[in-house]
Chains A and B, each alone.
Chain A
């Protein structure tokens, strides 16, 4: 069994982080440059961590598989970033952001982590503005805010519909500054394929250069994974196509526990699937729900054009079911309600898998100009994809996989169960419980990278002894061999099926049985299907080309192999959690259509331990203790 000590500091909630910051050991400025840290990934969490640690004086190396650190998927976040600034004077506070986040996560996150997140949220906005992030402002020059799901205050800062892009470019510019100053050694086109653990400590990684195929070892005193989420296990998701679980999964197989893998966020407002060749789903920002009203016809199978359906024959189901939050109900609830309406035969568009998101009322109230200023780029994006004009007819939307709350288990210091391996951003499981609120992913990524890791890594480096290790160590050789062997296996099979065909099949199984609604029979079936798929994968895969040059099929082969194994673990986790909470909805556990938690038996983090090839993973539990909030039924009515 693993030691799942969360290392949460003692004392009152409000003082834990302050107290911890004082108690953590410091590394003297002259000694910082003697310590090396590897950061894998340069999204919001990775770029901010790498830049900040370099500013502090550590010897930082950063790795991305893209051609540039500016391409990370954080760039695609549209709507905004939360912070408890209370600039709108509407009653926001650190405590309210903390409470909304805990409640939004359906009481499955660690109190102390979430409180710290709410505390540093205010610093993030200051930091970003100092870097030149052009957040929206009012005519007087002050910062503007918008509302997001699961909150009754306006605390979301935004830069048009491109908030993620602007925040990432801010972090990227801080990173490039350190690269220019030779404080960060940046490696582009390098994909991490193995973690190296020596004497129980994470001491390095193995990478493959995507252009030359060269396999290289890199040693350091600590490793940070900021490698994002695993939504692409579903094949179709709003994630960028390269987003994958490989870095996390390799670390998992070296001893890092994987926490709550079944907690998946299905985003309610995405453009519906249009055909078999579809490669990804496109999100329409949650911010649209500020001014758009969601509805379906009251009548089953009503095929009339939306404009022909009179007001009295429309069901604005979110406003009806959740009057106090209305169209701004949290994502998991809004997604389930859309599925319910479609399952009931009232869905719209091809295949009946869609609901309307209607701006007619807002356009009447505010004018087309204002709506265009707020959401113009999203409307254009919608029109390009669907060939329909959302100014003239309602958008059609449907839920799609968007974010994964689960990830590698970390303690309060963001360290995994492998000493020295730290995990930041979406790659860890820490702050969102079973459901993430909108505009909180950007907040968490930057909190981890700018304001948490740079402190906690220092404490780890100052508190531990480091044997002199370089890449000539036998563990590096062995890990390099493992990587090369795996590649030869992929290239040697010469089977009949492409990587994509396996990935699509895996995605269908995951969506069908481990998607918006799950049950015992389906999950059990899915585990069998995935095991069969894995067997066929390793016999019948066709990967063309060689390992010695750019080979995108080979890259995908490794990623999909890991997705298949993760998919099985997700189903196991979903099967064992006999309750419904947040994004995890087990049809057996519901009350009047709402998720029914079981706090007596399941108020814990499920941290899965890898037990070896062919063996069942081992379940470890970290109990969740709530000292400050009362566990209650989540109500948005």
Chain B
């Protein structure tokens, strides 16, 4: 196949960027989308040009590194797949493909197609965990969790933190990402003690990072490579609302012994 690529090139965060056009011949239908980029980069290197910087690692749709806006769709045309899982058989000879980075101000562009998603880590650090220091756990089977609850929790826990939800959202909201973690932990018995505190802290951090608000456009669940449902956002909103209403100052813990 012969493919024409329009690729966003931007040398650095603050530098201006633009789309460059490359024509690639001999692309096979069994190649993955990123293998096509490998091919392009080998070609550019041998021509003495700088290859396109892009994020990738596991190439099996689980590490969440890859992040390409392909013809305006986050991760491209295949539903429930990350960029690295997309194969060239999704395209045909003579196609023109435009590839851009995620665009959202909390994800600054580093170079070409690479963005910095550190904001997601900070949302997790704010409260996306169960405080269970190593060593204090009781026997795993002493906690009973029904299969239905467990399955629903696992559906939300499948999030790979790629940021497609933010890139696809007209408001650059991180609600699907944040809601998924709140749902994963909030459904489990182990997650109850911190449930409200978690929702408050994570939502506040999300706002602080500059992500937009959710207007239930639903683009996020369409783009999500793990097909996480926007139901997780309802749960986030409910937990946040309850927590806001009951908000109280933490009590001092020292001096009791």
For residue A52, CB closer than 8 A to chain B, the reply is yes
Distance in Å from the Cβ of B110 to the closest Cβ of chain A? 6
Interface flags for B116-144 (1: CB within 8 Å of A; 0: not) read 11101100111111111111111111011
Least CB distance, B219 to chain A, in whole angstroms: 22
With contact pairs A279-B59, A381-B60 given, residues A180 and B160 touching in the complex (Cβ less than 8 Å): no
Tell me how many residue pairs across A and B have CB atoms closer than 8 Å.
211
Q: Is A242 an interface position by the 8 A CB rule?
A: yes
DSSP majority for the B interface? loop
Contacts of A500 in B (CB 8 A): 38, 42
**Given A55-B134, A141-B145, A498-B62 contact (CB < 8 Å):** no
Question: Closest residue of chain B to A178, judged by CB?
Answer: B125
Please pick, from A55, A131, A137, the residue contacting B145 in the complex, using a CB distance under 8 A.
Answer: A137
Convert B144-161 into 0s and 1s, putting 1 for each residue whose CB lies closer than 8 angstroms to a CB of A. 111100100110011011
Interface membership of B35, Cβ < 8 A? yes
A553: chain B residues at CB < 8 Å are 45, 51
Cα A73 to Cα B39 in complex, Å, equals 24
**A632 vs chain B, min Cβ distance (A):** 34
CB-CB under 8 A for A549 and B188, given A68-B121, A143-B140, A384-B85: no
- A73, A123, A278, A552: the one within 8 Å of B63 (CB): A73
Question: B11 at interface (Cβ–Cβ under 8 A)?
Answer: yes
Looking at the assembled complex, report how far the CB atom of A9 sits from the nearest CB atom of chain B, in whole angstroms.
Answer: 21
Query: Is B48 a contact of A134 with CB atoms below 8 Å?
Result: no
How far, in whole Å, are A71 and B120 apart by their CA atoms in the complex? 12
Q: Which residues of chain B have C-beta atoms less than 8 A from A544's C-beta?
A: 44-45, 48-51
Contact B28 A277 (CB under 8 A): yes
Task: Collect the chain A residues with CB atoms within 8 Å of residue B89's CB.
Answer: 387
A323 at the interface (CB under 8 A from B): no
Tell me which residues across on chain A come within 8 A of B129, comparing CB atoms.
131-132, 173-174, 176-177
A132 CA to B118 CA, complexed, in Å? 23
Assess the B111–A451 pair: CB atoms within 8 A: no
Contact for B140 among A52, A67, A125, CB less than 8 A: A125
Min CB–CB distance A29 → chain B (angstroms): 14
Residues on A with beta carbons closer than 8 Å to the beta carbon of B12: 549
Q: Is the CB of A274 within 8 A of B124?
A: no
Contact of B157 with A542 in the complex, beta carbons under 8 Å: no
Q: Does A275 contact B30, Cβ atoms closer than 8 Å?
A: yes
Does the CB pair B45–A69 fall under 8 Å?
no
A70 interface hit (Cβ, 8 Å): yes
Query: Which residues of the other chain, B, contact A51 by a CB distance below 8 angstroms?
Result: 134
Q: In the complex the two chains form, is B46's CB within 8 Å of A275's CB?
A: no
Name which residue of chain A comes closest to B45, CB basis: A498
Q: A73-B57, A279-B35 are in contact. Are A66 and B136 (CB under 8 A)?
A: no
The residues of A that contact B137 with a CB separation of less than 8 Å are: 123, 126-127, 129-130
A127/B132 in contact, CB under 8 A: yes
Q: Is the CB of B147 within 8 A of A129?
A: no
Residue of A nearest to B148 (CB): A139
Does A550 interact with chain B (Cβ within 8 Å)? yes
Question: Using Cβ atoms and an 8 Å threshold, which residues of chain A touch B81?
Answer: 384
Residue B190 lies at the interface, judged by CB distance under 8 Å to chain A: yes
A305: interface (CB < 8 Å): no
> Which residues of A have CB within 8 Å of B59?
240-241, 279-280, 282
A42-71 interface code vs B (CB 8 A; 1 in, 0 out) = 000000100110010000000000111111
Task: Report which of B53, B62, B128 forms a contact with A173, defined as CB distance below 8 A.
Answer: B128
Check A517 for interface membership: any CB of B closer than 8 A. no
CA distance A544 to B42 in the complex (A): 11
Is B234 at the interface (CB under 8 A from chain A)? no
Q: Which of A348-365 contact B (CB under 8 A)?
A: none
Q: Are A380 and B80 in contact (CB under 8 A)?
A: yes
Contact status B57-A240, CB under 8 Å = yes
Residue from A176, A211, A454 within 8 A of B121 (CB atoms): A176
Q: B103 an interface residue at 8 Å Cβ cutoff?
A: no
Asked if A76 lies at the interface with its beta carbon under 8 angstroms from chain B, I say: yes
A68, B120: Cβ atoms closer than 8 Å: yes
How far is B58's CA from A164's CA once the two chains are assembled, in angstroms?
13
Report the Cα distance A282→B34, complex, angstroms. 14
Interface pair A166/B147, CB less than 8 Å apart: no
* Minimum CB distance partner of A137 in chain B: B150
Contacts of A129 in B (CB 8 A): 137, 140, 143, 190
Chain A residues with CB under 8 A of B235: none
Is residue B55 contacting chain A, with contact meaning CB distance below 8 A?
yes
Most central of B57, B64, B114 by chain A CB within 10 Å: B57
Most buried by A among B11, B63, B140: B140
Residues in B with CB closer than 8 Å to A137 are 145-147, 150
Contacts of A169 in B (CB 8 A): 157
Whether A160 is near chain B, meaning CB under 8 Å from some CB there, is yes
23 A-B pairs whose Cβ atoms sit less than 8 Å apart in the complex: A48-B134, A67-B65, A68-B161, A71-B57, A123-B137, A129-B143, A131-B190, A137-B147, A140-B144, A160-B154, A164-B62, A177-B129, A179-B125, A240-B57, A275-B28, A277-B35, A279-B35, A280-B59, A384-B85, A385-B87, A544-B51, A549-B111, A553-B51
Closest 10 CB pairs of A and B: A141-B144, A180-B125, A173-B129, A130-B137, A130-B132, A126-B137, A129-B140, A240-B58, A176-B125, A134-B154
A-B contacts besides A180-B126, A544-B48, 4 pairs, CB < 8 Å: A67-B65, A71-B64, A179-B125, A241-B57
